[in-house]
A and B are shown apart, each in its own frame.
Chain A
Amino acid sequence: MNPEEKIRISFRLNGREVEAHVLPGETALHLLRERLGLRGVKEGCGIGECGACTIVVDKKAVNSCLMLAAQLHGCEVLTVEGLESPVGLHPLQEAFLEHDAIQCGYCTPGMLLSAYALIVSRGVPTREEIVRALAGNLCRCTGYHQIVDAVQDAARRMAGKEEGRW
């Protein structure tokens, strides 16, 4: 690979500065998962129809399969690996466990991140708002109900607490 054809980018990933050289047509999904080893970002479909590749970029939930890696330059990026802290699991992760919101687990990272972005912007969302925000994250196992319960519960716990990284 001719190094001149690659683009140098730097961005903040899960709280740390990161530098990478990316191909022009490389997706953010490919960079994060295949080259930076963040397996929580998953290619469920590659065309933005399933949400399994969801990451949070500048506080917004986006499909990393539809974003160029080059477009991450200068952004603040969060993947599921960034939710956990030295203190332990994130309240969202805890709530998902408590509410039995996980069956096969494949959609879970995307769900957690969509939920995270929603809570960061809306505080304590209504059930309807949660459903709308998660409509882009498909799940074939759970029927969604317990996931929505978990997000609602986590939002209440997170309300009023310091934002931490954000």
Chain B
Amino acid sequence: MEGPLILKLLRSPRPHARILSINTERAMKNDGVEAIFTAKDIPGRNLIGLITKDQPLLAHDKVRFVGEPVALVAARDEESAIRGVEEVEVVYEDLPAIFTPDEALDPGAVPIHEKGNLLHRRVVVKGDVEDALSRAHLVVERTYSTPFLEHACLEPDAGWGYVDKDGTLVIVASTQNPHYDQREVAELLGVEKERVRVIQAATGGGFGSKLDLTVQGFIGLALYHLRRPVKLTLSREEVFLATPKRHAMKIWMRTAARRDGRLLALEAKIICDTGAYSSYGVAVATRAAVHATGPYEIENVRVESLAVYTNNPIAGAMRGFGVPQVAFAHESQMDILAEGLGIDPLEIRRINAMRPESVTATGQVLGESVGLLEALDAVEPHYREAMEEWKKGPRRPYTARGVGLGAMWYGIGNTGVRNPSTVKVQLDERGRVVLYIGAADMGQGSTTVLVQMASETLGISPEEMEVVIADTGLTPDAGASSASRQTYISGNALVRACRKLSETLLEEASRLTGLPRGELVLRGGNVVSKEKPERLVSLAELAALAKERGVSLEFEGHFDPETTPLDPSTGQGIPYATYSFACQMAQVEVDLLTGQVEVRRIVAAHDVGKAINPKGVVGQIRGGVAMGVGFALMEEFLPGSTRSFKDYHIPTAADMPEVIPIIVESSEPTGPFGAKGVGEPALIPTAPAILNAIADALGERIYALPATLERVCEASIRAGWPKMGKGGGPR
């Protein structure tokens, strides 16, 4: 049997240009080339986007970034596909290209999109900032910058597809949100949703990079026209070139405090380079604005956050969605304030820390699950020991030691919008419990956690259950695996579904046995009496009975967090139903001669509400810290020059500090078993803590990430350590 056709993309070499013509004649003459598709071959709507639909699947009139897909080649083998791509002739007419948000916002700038270069403006305003500034004892104003970042999942994007015997276009792809994929592909092709089926393939990491359509649209298009199996895998170079990045940001922040350390006001202007298309730009800019205060209660707030189009690569979702960037800013501000006021850095955080019933910048009154103080308390003994003992300990000559803190908060779920999940549970005719979970697991462990919750609710061991995962043909829509939302949202939905099942089963068992419903519980696959825990009736028997009566034991549970949209002019509202909190501490040793930084230890205390799977939580914390080390010290995606893993460094095993993970459980009443989320929080405090530690070591601060050799060397020289040059030496 023939193998699948190989798909390859022709991508624009120009950052901003009109397409004058596309000629596929020569390319089609290649023996192995089966077909070549361009925008005109898209039967439905050639416009995609997770929030704002501004991106064509295949460019039609112009291209807006280097790497933008222009044509799709389907060929018998790899070599023919490559030749086909090389021989498509496209004539471009260059337009002025814009590579910084400042340029893009200039009134005279060429519009990248018809409606202009400002994608979104989010404002959060509360209280009276001017008045607060006038009352302040200390006002700190700085500008921070963070670069584009690459997710660097170990698995490059990939997928394949085939047409089912009933004509359904089946797409099997690495993805974080199969149901979105299904909807989007159906619209692209102008067919009903049910004609497209998306099955999540084993996904080698996501971190936000597999939320946008990656390969799915192209596979769908090829299937639609060719009706035979096709396959598309991106090379690592293509992933670097053309898949979404973390937003580069410039953050100006002005924080005002009283003499006793209490924060009075926060003003911030955040400029997010969202690249050529919107992707998650609206959500990132909004989240950054909403989280800009940090996990601190501040009465007077004025934040403006802009998502700006440029001809850089698309910036979209990446673990943290804008919060890692602003956390670097607000945590640096806290340390600068602490120093200026002569207050201990941990104390100043404690003084201002959010607590139950604190009011946020968007006017939300927090519930009871606010574990920040507990996280600070958990870190404190390590912090004191590091400051008092470790910092003064023996070390190599010409090195300086520093200790730094980073605190964070993170809203669980999508910001101020509906983002529900539906989960289905079934007791099938064999008496087996089958869970239908639409949530994509890309290694973060959502499946494990949800199975555990089902196990707890139904009194059955995980081994006895079956799971069907992330298949639009079989599982209801659980929403995307993003925003650290699956434990909380799909967990609630699953528990609801399981409770409906257990209630039904217990009612039926009560009817059968004559015992009061209240006396009965599910345990070990049976209904038993609380008084005398002997098996009364098994689930298998109940299933058989139901079958006899023609009753289906299939239940759906649904959950949507209670949020309200943010007011467009003030940003007031309830963006999330719950928040996770954390504090991390970093111990670093800085080589004053070379600029190298060694992170010796990270203590990470995370309030997750309830750790359904503690090992899993620890795994997320360790992985998040690793990403944070990269963000702090070595990761930087430079459009046009970062091409591969030779240029882009993520931490290896040898770069990892000792990590001490601490789980804090401040139970969330609206969460399943009290749980919230941890996937993104794990990463957020790390870089801030490391940069604060570097500042502590050197006495000079770095305001741009990453803290490269050059930046650290520069900062250490500014601090006067050591004096380089003729007559140089220790200070």
Contact = CB atoms under 8 A, between A and B. Distances in A.
A144 B204 contact: no
A140 B625 contact: no
B714 interface: no
B398 interface: no
A140 B650 contact: yes
B619 A140 contact: no
Contacts of A14: none
A141 interface: yes
B508 interface: no
Given A49-B644, A140-B627, A144-B626, A42 B619 contact: no
Contact of B619 (A130, A134, A136, A146): A146
A132 B443 contact: no
B318 to A, nearest CB: 12
Interface stretch (B120-128, B151-159, B252-260): B151-159
Contact of A107 (B154, B445, B646): B154
B709 to A, nearest CB: 19
8 contacts: A135-B654, A141-B443, A143-B621, A143-B622, A144-B622, A144-B626, A145-B659, A147-B653
A87 interface: no
A10 interface: no
A140 B645 contact: no
Given A100-B619, A143-B622, A148 B153 contact: no
Interface in A91-149: 100, 102-107, 130-132, 134-148
Given A104-B153, A137-B653, 6 more contacts: A44-B236, A102-B443, A103-B445, A138-B154, A140-B151, A141-B154
Contacts of A45: 236, 644-645
A106 B205 contact: yes
A45 B150 CA distance: 14
Interface string B610-624: 000001101101111
Contacts of A105: 202, 204, 443
Given A143-B623, A143-B625, A148 B235 contact: no
Interface string B152-180: 11111000000000000000000000000
B422 interface: no
Interface residues of B, number: 38
B486 interface: no
A104 B445 CA distance: 9
B578 interface: no
A131 B653 contact: yes
B444 interface: yes
Contact of A134 (B207, B626, B653): B653
Given A104-B203, A107-B154, A146 B622 contact: yes
Interface string B111-142: 00000000000000000000000000000000
Interface string A31-59: 00000000000111111011010000000
Contacts of B619: 100, 103, 141-143, 146
Given A140-B650, A141-B623, A52 B616 contact: no
A-B pairs with lowest CB-CB distance, top 5: A104-B443, A143-B622, A106-B204, A49-B645, A103-B443
Interface residues of A, number: 34
Contacts of B204: 42, 104-106
B442 interface: yes
Contacts of A42: 154-155, 204
A44 to B, nearest CB: 5
Contact of A50 (B154, B624, B627, B659): B154
A147 B653 CA distance: 9
B641 interface: no
A131 B654 contact: yes
Point out which of A43, A45, A50, A52 has the most chain B C-beta atoms below 10 A from its C-beta: A45
Given A100-B619, A105-B202, A140-B207, A44 B646 contact: no
Contacts of B593: none
Contacts of B207: 140
A131 B443 CA distance: 22
Nearest to A39: B202
Nearest to A50: B645
